[in-house]
Amino acid sequence: MMIALEHYFLWFLFYSFVGWVYESILVSCQERRLVNRGFLNGPLCPIYGTGAVLGIAVLGNLHNPIIIFLISMVGATILEYTTSWVMEELFHARWWDYSNFRFNVQGRVCLLGAVIFGIAGVVIVLGAQPYVAQFTDLIPVPMLHTLVTVLALVTIIDLAVTVAGMLEFEQVLDSVTQTVQDVAARAGDTWQWGSSAVSDKMRELSQDTIERLRWTANGVINAQQKRMLKSFPKFQVPDRQDIIDSLRELMGPRR
C-alpha cells in the first residue's frame, strides 16, 4: 500500500512538471518572454498532476478512448472550476480567466480547455502512463522511500513559502497605493491608477521620479507576489485591478 502511494506521488510530480512545461511554453509564446507559469516556485503545476493522478486511478482499467475522453473532459473541467473557486476564496484573487473564450462558465472554465483536457486524458491513460509506471517500478524500494521523502519535503516547503507570500495581498496593494501616492505627491504630482493612466503619466514624469516609483513598488511587493504578477497575465484581484495593471506597468521594462 505504501509503495503504491509513493508511486502515485511520483506520478503526481511528473505530470505536474509536464503541465508546467506545457503552460510555460504556451504563455511564454503568448507573452514573448520566458515565464515560470507554476503556482509554486519549483517547476510544477499541481492542478495537472492532480488531474492526471485522478484520471489514472479512475480510468486506469478502461481501454475505450471515447469513454476516457468524455470522463477526462468532464472531470478535468470540474477540477479546474473547483480549483479556481477555492484559490479565489483563499487568496481573494483569480489566476486565470476564460471570459474571452466562447462557451465559458464564469471565466473559470471553457469548452476549448475541456476538449484539450479530454485529449490529454486519452494520451496519458492509453499512451504515457504504462511507460511511466514501468519506470517507477524499476526504482529500488529503499531508493523509492528516500526519493519520495526528499521530494515531499521540498514540495511542502515550496507550498508553504508560496502560500505565505500570497496571504494578505489585498492589504499589500493598499499599502502600495498609499506609498506610491506619497512619492508622486513629493514630486509635486498626483497619481491616477490604471494601466493607460500610468503609461500616459510615465511620459510626463521625470526619469528620477519614475525610478523612485519603480523602486517603491518593487520594495513593497514581495518576491512571491512579483512572480505571480509576471507569471499570470490574467491574475486579477476584485476591485483592485487598476492597481494590478499599474504595478505591471511599473515593474515592466524600463523606457
CB distance 215 to 78 below 8 Å: no
Confidence label for 175 from pLDDT (cuts 50, 70 and 90): confident
Which band of pLDDT confidence, cut at 50, 70 and 90, is reported for residue 5? very high
Considering only CA atoms, which of 70, 40, 72, 30 is closest in space to residue 54?
A: 72
Closest to 221 (Cα-Cα) out of 157, 171, 161? 171
Rounded mean pLDDT of 210-236? 78
Q: Is 107 exposed, middle or buried (0-12, 13-18, 19+ CB in 10 A)?
A: middle
Question: What is the grid cell recorded at 245?
Answer: 495593471
Q: In this structure, what are the phi and psi dihedrals at residue 94, rounded to the nearest 5 degrees?
A: -120, 130
pLDDT for 189: 59
pLDDT value of position 181: 67
- Predicted confidence at residue 13, as pLDDT, reads 97
Element (H or E) spanning 104, and its range?
strand 104-105
C-alpha to C-alpha distance for 192 and 201, rounded to whole angstroms:
8
Over the chain, what is the mean pLDDT? 85
Per-residue pLDDT at 126 = 96
What confidence category does residue 178 fall into, taking pLDDT thresholds of 50, 70 and 90?
confident
Does 7 score more than 70 pLDDT?
Answer: yes
Its pTM stands at 0.84
Tell me how far apart the alpha carbons of residues 213 and 219 are, in angstroms, rounded to a whole number: 10
193 against 130, higher pLDDT: 130
Cα dihedral across residues 27, 30, 34, 35: positive or negative: negative
Report how far apart, in Å, the C-alpha atoms of 90 and of each of 85, 147, 208 are. Answer: 9, 31, 38
pLDDT digits (tens, 9 = 90+) for 102-112: 999 999 999 99
